[in-house]
Structure 1
Amino acid sequence: LIFICLLICFLISGFFIHLFTKDLERRKRRFSVHGTFWCRFCCRLFRIKVIVKNQPQEDKPGLLVGNHLGFIDLLACASVQPNLFVTSREMRETPVLGLITEMAGCIYVERRSRSNILKELGEMIDYLRKGFRVVLYPEATSTNGEGVFPFKRTLMTAAAHAGVPIIPYVFNFREINGEPGFQLKYRDSVCWYGDISFVQAIWNAFSLKSLVCEVEFLSPVYTKTDDDRAVVADAVREMIVAKFNPVDKTERF
């Protein structure tokens, strides 16, 4: 019930931003700040503590690239500073989720169409050149916490074309319900994967008593347009893998 009330307030305030901000660039900026405000409020309300390490300067543009476990890492990352998140057009067409992503200022991509994805790559480049921070999840899906999936490479080239760095970051769970680490028994409460619905994922996560997570920014990676994109993607992924703490499958008694 509390989440539904928050969602309604988020959508109403987002509607007024949309209504009274005609300039598209200004609207995106306001939506990104709007998203950060509500994500911070949500974290406080549901006892989610976000530890931030090595936070980059907020006024510096860059392509943020991180691992993806579900909506909690979205919430955490958005609470740190205003960003534009890249998500799928399929998400835009999903009831409720489409409205949420629209009011948060997301950039939509169609990964299954080469012609469309090149056009949308251009949109990402444009926002980066205008000074926005753009968040990309190159795994292209959320995972079950056992590892980091291979990266999709095309959209990562936006950084080189825009002349901004790739800023890798790693998201980890540090404590769940007062218990240290990322224990297997809590996986379905914090990860959104497989057949778990959005509603169930929300319910599972917000039923927890407390949560401590960490967003650690790693060294920026500067690339050029003629760099091998496979090499770049693999190098960035390895940086994240080296810092990621997967779900602990050890049985505890």
Structure 2
Amino acid sequence: MLRAYLYLLFFVPFTLSCSITAIVGTLFDATGAFAHKCSRFWSRWGLSLAGIKIEVEGLKNVPGEGPLIFMGNHQGNFDILALSLAIPRRFSWIAKKELFAIPLFGEAMRRAGYIPLDRSDGRRALKSMNAAADRIRNGSSVVVFPEGTRTKDGNLLPFKRGGFLLAAKAGVPIIPFTINGSMKINPRNRIELYPGTLRISFARPVATATGQDKDQVQLMEQVRLAIAAGLE
């Protein structure tokens, strides 16, 4: 537990410093590319100082061009940092709008091109989804955790339909990914932090379905099977 507290003493001010750097950088680079580089720098040092190594498999399954939606399981807090380094392309996070209200950190997310999702009611959620689909069609790749939250025991939680509706609206392929080892490093809702290896594997692209309900169910099942196949 002492290790975790010592880590937080570094990580919190380090996060604020990287956020400020990203915000200032966008004054000279409005594309968000510099902010994304700051995110990768933040992730690399955040993992290194926590004693976490990452192993990545299946990069050949990630197309080099065109927008994509990455979907995978969510095991722990360090998934975010690991994916920032593992995904070989620039991408945007789709995150709940509350995160964008965090001073400095939220502004850095906004300037990096990350997409807020308002889930307060159906109408606002649909508006957020349409805006995200437009961004993807215009060339942005995004990451979605279809479970919506971290797992408690390592098993996949039921998938929410939002990410799959987004995929259908945007009409781009889904790249399933599987994360292993994250729960052992930092168990959910606990302060413990243990050194270890976090493994991420990418599966083959899955073509998106039409807007028909039966096609959405099939798409969800196909992606779920691809993610589950990589679980250890």
1:127 aligns with: 135
What SS is found at the alignment partner of 1:171? Answer: strand
The structure 2 residue matched to 1:79, chosen from 75, 85, 102, is: 85
Residue 117 of structure 2 contacts residue 125 of structure 2 at CA under 8 Å; is this kept in 1? yes
What SS is found at the alignment partner of 1:32? Answer: helix
After TM superposition, give the deviation of residue 41 of structure 1 in Å: 2.8
Amino acid at match of 1:48: I
After TM superposition, give the deviation of residue 88 of structure 1 in Å: 0.8
1:250 aligns with: none
**Which 5+ residue runs of structure 2 have no aligned equivalent?**
1-8
1:60 aligns with: 66
Q: Distance in 2 between matches of 1:15 and 1:108?
A: 17
1:244 aligns with: 231
RMSD (Å) for aligned C-alpha atoms: 2.5
Count the aligned residue pairs.
Answer: 218
1:162 aligns with: 170
What SS is found at the alignment partner of 2:70? Answer: strand
What SS is found at the alignment partner of 2:78? Answer: helix
Q: TM-score, normalised by structure 1?
A: 0.75
What SS is found at the alignment partner of 1:149? Answer: coil
The structure 1 residue matched to 2:200, chosen from 212, 215, 237, is: 215
The structure 2 residue matched to 1:231, chosen from 210, 213, 218, is: 218
After TM superposition, give the deviation of residue 14 of structure 1 in Å: 1.4
Q: Distance in 2 between matches of 1:224 and 1:235?
A: 11
Residue 97 of structure 2 contacts residue 117 of structure 2 at CA under 8 Å; is this kept in 1? yes
After TM superposition, give the deviation of residue 151 of structure 1 in Å: 0.8
Alpha-carbon distance change, 113 to 96 in structure 1, aligned in 2, over 3 angstroms: same
What SS is found at the alignment partner of 2:179? Answer: strand
Instruction: Provide the identity percentage.
Output: 28
Deviations 1:137-182 (A, max 9, x none): 11111122331111111332222332310111000018xxxxxxx7
Residue 68 of structure 1 contacts residue 137 of structure 1 at CA under 8 Å; is this kept in 2? yes
1:190 aligns with: 186
Q: Distance in 2 between matches of 1:110 and 1:230?
A: 24
1:42 aligns with: 46
The structure 2 residue matched to 1:91, chosen from 84, 99, 105, is: 99
What SS is found at the alignment partner of 1:51? Answer: strand
Deviations 1:113-139 (A, max 9, x none): 211121111222122222222000111
Amino acid at match of 1:32: H
